[in-house]
Amino acid sequence: MLDLNKFIEWVEEKSTRSVSIEIGEGVYNPVNNDWGIKIWVYDTDICEGQHVMSVDEINLEGKKERQEKEQYERLKAKFEGVIT
């Protein structure tokens, strides 16, 4: 069972957080490849969002860090060996 109170608590921890929940026929959730309920969490402070099914799945900081590391590696490869 989905515990909405946990999402409310997560939002209340930080003023930059929000949760959007869609429920209904025709709503597709990419997290569990199912139809019916879709939950999107977002933090404007780090400009990152994630589809989840529970608060325990939220890892926006980790997602942001992975994306930054990937960007760093791309830029490093692009400019490696360039002497200015």
83: confidence class by pLDDT, cuts 50, 70, 90 = low
- What local confidence, expressed as pLDDT, does residue 82 receive? 63
Answer whether 36's CB lies under 8 Å from 46's CB: no
The number of angstroms, rounded, from the C-alpha of 26 to the middle of its chain's C-alpha atoms is 22
0.85 cut: is pTM over it?
Answer: no
pLDDT tens profile 48-66: 999 999 999 999 999 999 9
Q: Is position 56 within any domain?
A: yes
How many whole angstroms separate alpha carbon 46 and alpha carbon 61?
Answer: 8
- Supply the range of the domain harboring residue 73: 4-79
Domain count along the chain: 1
pLDDT tens profile 5-49: 999 999 999 999 999 999 888 887 777 777 788 999 999 999 999
Q: Is position 52 within any domain?
A: yes
Q: Is position 53 within any domain?
A: yes
